[in-house]
Amino acid sequence: MKHTNENRLEFVVDDRYEGKELKEILYGEMRLSSRLVRRLKRNQGILVNGNRITFHARLRKGDKVEVVMADEANQFEPENIPIAVVYEDIDLLIVNKQPGLVVHPTKGHPTGTMANALVYRMKYTGENFKIRFVNRLDRDTSGLVVIAKNPYAQQELSKQMQKNQVEKIYLAVAKGTMEEDHGTIDAPIGRPDPEDIMRKVYEGGQPSVTHYEVVRRLKDATVVRIKLETGRTHQIRVHMAHIGHPLIGDELYGYTDKELIGRQALHAGQLIFNQPRTKERIEVRAPIPQDIKTLIQKLS
């Protein structure tokens, strides 16, 4: 499968698909979801040799199948907010989010978000894609946030996450000295009270699995590397509090001391995934922020 820009996919029919119906290529070789195919169909975005044909039409060797994804407008206002781009390709943009920055506008934070910053950046890059966040981080968690530039990239990475093919690795500083060098927290997480922002471990929650490994033991604190198997809201914060080692600086679930750090000591530092089109395994890292480095120094 080839591409000419972020909004176009191409496939030239070979021996494997000669005589097959168009829909078999869309769902098979091109791996498009039913939802995306329906959207493309509405927008007349599926062509064979430059023409629209029925999904049941049988194709010949050498036919060129094109998928054209129409640009969609952003609803966010541009704002000049500094952001650190650590990876970019034709399909994806990955930002190392600073603590204190909200990912997208909400009722409580209608402006001043990463989404506003990304729209501002497009004024200078000349790009114009709808911002699709593949993952999100809490306001006071720093680290890697993935933005898809088109619906195909969003679809493919979402599939990888559902199949646990994306490795999400965090660094955290937890209260207390953890005795075990490594372990797994397998405890369901949910929100019993829909009006309450806090999540809890309880039987009616969603399956949630967190793996941890001790990196360094400090004075009444532990630096841990955490790998998520699932991605529930506040998962790391809830699970670490559940085992008696809440994150230092976590005002909601943890132990706070403004003289140590002004936010939860949690950083999304590493992502490993397959590039949506090429399937190349990509690893992206974000350096440990200064406030967490300072915290570790204070507790050493």
Separation between Cα atoms, residue 208 and residue 173, nearest integer Å: 20
Residue among 48, 68, 44 nearest 58 (CA): 48
| AA letter at 137 | L
Separation between Cα atoms, residue 226 and residue 12, nearest integer Å: 43
Q: What pLDDT does residue 55 have?
A: 83
Q: What pLDDT does residue 6 have?
A: 63
pTM of the model: 0.82
Separation between Cα atoms, residue 249 and residue 237, nearest integer Å: 11
Residues known to be catalytic: 138
Burial of 233 (0-12, 13-18, 19+ CB in 10 A): middle
Q: What pLDDT does residue 4 have?
A: 47
What does pLDDT average to over the chain?
91
Q: What pLDDT does residue 5 have?
A: 53
Give the pLDDT confidence of 204-255 residue by residue, as tens digits: 899 999 999 999 999 999 999 999 999 899 999 999 999 999 999 999 998 8
Q: What pLDDT does residue 18 have?
A: 86
Separation between Cα atoms, residue 147 and residue 129, nearest integer Å: 10
Q: What pLDDT does residue 3 have?
A: 47
Question: What domains are defined for the chain?
Answer: 8-68 (3.10.290.10), 84-299 (3.30.2350.10)
Give the pLDDT confidence of 15-48 residue by residue, as tens digits: 888 888 888 888 888 888 888 888 788 777 888 8
User: Which residues, given as ranges, of the chain have pLDDT below 70?
Assistant: 1-6, 71-73
